[in-house]
Amino acid sequence: MSITRPQIGISGLAAYVPPYRVWLEDWCDWTGQKWPKIRDVVGRSFRVRGPEHSVYTMAATAVMRLIDQYDIDPTRVKFLGLGTESSADNSAGAIIIKGMIDRALEERGMPPISRSCEVPEFKHACLGGVYGMKGAIRHLALDGAGSQAIVVCADIAEYALGSSGEPTQGAGAVAMLLEENPKLAVVDLIGSGSASDYRVMDFRKPMLRFKSQGMTDTHHVQDFPVFNGKYSTTCYVDETLHALEDMYSKRGLSPAEYLRSLRTVFMHRPYRRMPETGWAISYLFALSTGSDADRAELASYCYEAGIDPQEVVDEMANKPSVAKLANIEEHQLEAYPKAMAVYRVFRASRHYRREILDKLSLGSDTMLDLGNLYTAALPAWMAAGFEQALEEDSLKTGEEILTLGYGSGDAAEVIPFYVAHGWREASAAIQFSEAMTPVIDLNEKQYIAMHEGGRPEGIDYVPNREFVIAGVGHRQERHFADYGIEYYRYAS
Cα(413)–Cα(270) distance, integer angstroms: 16
Stretch (H or E) spanning 309 = helix 309-318
Please give the pLDDT value at position 298.
98
The band of 208, judged by pLDDT with boundaries at 50, 70 and 90, is confident
Tens-place pLDDT, residues 140-158: 999 999 999 999 999 999 9
Dump pLDDT digits (tens) for 335-358: 899 999 999 999 999 999 999 999
Contact yes or no for 339/312 (Cβ under 8 A):
yes
Average pLDDT over residues 30-39: 97
Distance from C-alpha of 459 to C-alpha of 9, rounded to nearest angstrom: 41
Tell me the C-alpha distance between 87 and 141, whole Å.
28
Query: Considering the chain, what is the average pLDDT of its residues?
Result: 93
Q: What is the spatial distance between Cα 195 and Cα 488, in angstroms, rounded to a whole number?
A: 38
Residue 230 confidence (pLDDT): 78
Residue pLDDT, tens place only, 183-196: 999 999 999 999 99
CA distance 412 to 405: 6
Planar angle of CA 183, 247, 249, nearest 5 degrees? 140
Q: Is the pLDDT of residue 198 over 90?
A: no
Q: What is the pLDDT of residues 35-71, one digit of tens each?
A: 999 999 999 999 999 999 999 999 999 999 999 999 9
pTM: 0.94
Using the predicted structure, report yes or no on whether residue 229 has a pLDDT greater than 90. Answer: no
Residue 244 above 60 pLDDT? yes
* Domains (range + CATH), the chain: 8-193+420-491 (3.40.47.10), 229-371+381-403 (no CATH)
Residue 4 has a pLDDT of 65
Task: Go through 91-104 and write b for each residue having 16 or more CB atoms within 10 A of its CB, e for each that does not.
Answer: ebbbbbbbbbbbeb
pLDDT band of residue 2 (cuts 50, 70, 90) is very low
Q: Quick one: what percent of the chain has pLDDT higher than 70?
A: 97
- Output the pLDDT for position 1: 38
Q: Each residue of 395-436: pLDDT tens digit? A: 999 999 999 999 876 899 999 999 999 999 999 999 999 999
- From CA 177, how far away is CA 194, in angstroms rounded? 23
